[in-house]
Amino acid sequence: MTQILSGLGRFHPRGERDSQIWSRICAFVVAEPRAFSRDASIGGHITASAFVLSTDKSAVLLTHHKKLGLWLQLGGHCDGIADTGFVALKEAYEESGLIRIARVRDEILDVDIHDIPARKDEPAHLHYDVRFLFQAEAGEITVSDESHALAWVPLSNLESYTTEASILRMRDRV
């Protein structure tokens, strides 16, 4: 069981909310052999996100997600890779165009479970999201096929792009 859970990373809950979410994520991974897959038919899957700060740590890179139409942190599906820290970094590179990104902390920054609505090709399901803190070191941002736009959003002005509690919580943890 420890080996299975090691793919999630280390998390230190900061209260009852964190403890409950972390327990649910761990229980899902232990109970579901395909937890790191992209199979929505099992009710959900593990995803990994990157909260990428600018070089001066004053702004975060957000993507205007094509499918969801929302400003979100970078991230995505594990696609069978049971290493959320690696997946978060891989997704940050793929979605940003940056050429060098550094992990700020080894530990998980935040965890979240959120609903993904049904689409014609998949049922409604849950994303068990594991989130890490990174900092951009080099490169210019380039919009990927998964986004309408990218923006460096000042941490002090984040609410002008999103009121999503989970994103504001990551900012507050930085």
- Asked whether residue 1 carries a pLDDT value surpassing 60, the answer given is no
Whole-number mean pLDDT of the chain? 93
pLDDT attached to residue 3:
52
pLDDT digits (tens, 9 = 90+) for 65-82: 887 788 999 999 999 999
**High-pLDDT (> 70) share of the chain, %:** 98
Domains and CATH numbers, the chain: 2-173 (3.90.79.10)
pLDDT at 134 over 50: yes
Query: Is the pLDDT confidence value at 2 over 60?
Result: no
Helices (H) and strands (E) in the chain, counts: 4, 8
